Amino acid sequence: MLLAIDSSAGTSVAVVDRAYGVLAEASVDDNMRHAEVVGELIEAVLRESGAVVSALAAVAVGVGPGPFTGLRVGMAAARTFALAAGIPLLGVVSHDAIALGAYGGEGWGELLVTTDARRRELYWSRYEGLDSLGLPRRAAGPALARPDEIPSAPRRIDATAVSAASLGLLAERVRASGRAAEPIEPLYLRSPDVTLAVPKRVTS
């Protein structure tokens, strides 16, 4: 059983179990209120699932890509929750969770996933079905591009939300497979927006 958190779009939290599936999921789509809602959502899914912290085997966290400010809130909460609970933290590319949800149980075929990167750009990833472990096979991405630069695909999902339940189920499959999880580094895909300060004259 594990706790899953994603804040790469809105904020989504779930408790999932490999054998019993999704035990609880709670989400807030508002993409400006991550810091306000993340604690209550965690508390809500623990209560609803009846899971005690000591029964959790790991925390899964969406590492993005996603707008930075919100993404960091979920990642910070997941890191400290795992630290305090003394359990491992597993990174999951948030697009992979979207792809898993889109493919369902026995997905195949090419799939393009995009999410909003703001500033008239999109994050995108391209998938080629599920592998033998039931994990989405990411063929390209995640990457950042203008809408007109994104490759076409027979099937495309422009997602506005990421389900922590899908993310958690994906992490459970990765864990069961013994495959290494993704590194727990935020996928910003953009450098901090800074310009070097040039001293300006104040007198003309």
Partner 1 sequence: MSAPLVLGIETSCDETGVGIVRGRELLANVISSSMEEHARYGGVVPEVAARAHLEAIEPALRQALETAGIGFGDLDALAVTAGPGLAGALMVGVGAAKGLATATGLPLYGVNHLVGHVGADLLRPPGEEPSPPLDEPTIALLVSGGHTSLLLVRDLVTDVELLGETIDDAAGEAFDKVARILGLPYPGGPEIDRAAVGGDPAAIRFPRGLTQQKDLDRHRYDFSFSGLKTAVARWVERARDEGRPVPVADVAAGFREAVAEVLLTKAVAACVDSGVPRLLLGGGVVANARVRALAEERCAAAGIALRVPPLSLCTDNGAMIAAVGAGLVTAGRPPSGLSFGADSTLPVTDVAVR
Give the CB-side neighbour count of residue 6, counting CA atoms within 13 A. 36
Site track 29-48 with partner 1 (rule: CB under 8 A), x = hit: ----xxxxxxxx-xx--x--
Sequence-distant (6+) residues with CB within 8 A of 146 are 120, 121, 122
Q: How many residues bind to partner 1 according to rule CB under 8 A?
A: 39
Minimum Å gap between C-beta 162 and partner 1 is 16
Rule CB under 8 A: say whether 68 interacts with partner 1.
yes
CA separation for the pair 73, 6 (Å, rounded): 9
Structure tokens at 89: 């933290």
The residues in 164-193 that bind partner 1, with binding defined as CB under 8 A, are 186, 188, 192-193
CA separation for the pair 5, 167 (Å, rounded): 8
Classify 35 as helix, strand or coil.
helix
CA separation for the pair 187, 65 (Å, rounded): 5
Sequence-distant (6+) residues with CB within 8 A of 43 are none
Which stretch, 18-26, 28-36, 93-101, 131-139, contacts partner 1 (CB under 8 A)? 28-36
Rule CB under 8 A: say whether 97 interacts with partner 1.
no
Cβ proximity to partner 1: between 81 and 123 the closer is 81
Report the residue from 62, 74, 107, 136 that binds partner 1 according to the rule CB under 8 A: 74
Report the residue from 20, 21, 30, 80 that binds partner 1 according to the rule CB under 8 A: 80
Distances (CA, A) of 140 to 8, 20, 123, 151, 153: 19, 32, 11, 10, 12
Which stretch, 72-80, 93-101, 147-155, 173-181, contacts partner 1 (CB under 8 A)? 72-80
Report the residue from 55, 83, 140, 176 that binds partner 1 according to the rule CB under 8 A: 83
Cβ proximity to partner 1: between 89 and 130 the closer is 89
Binding site for partner 1 (CB under 8 A): 33-40, 42-43, 46, 53, 68-69, 72-85, 186, 188, 192-194, 196-197, 199, 201-203
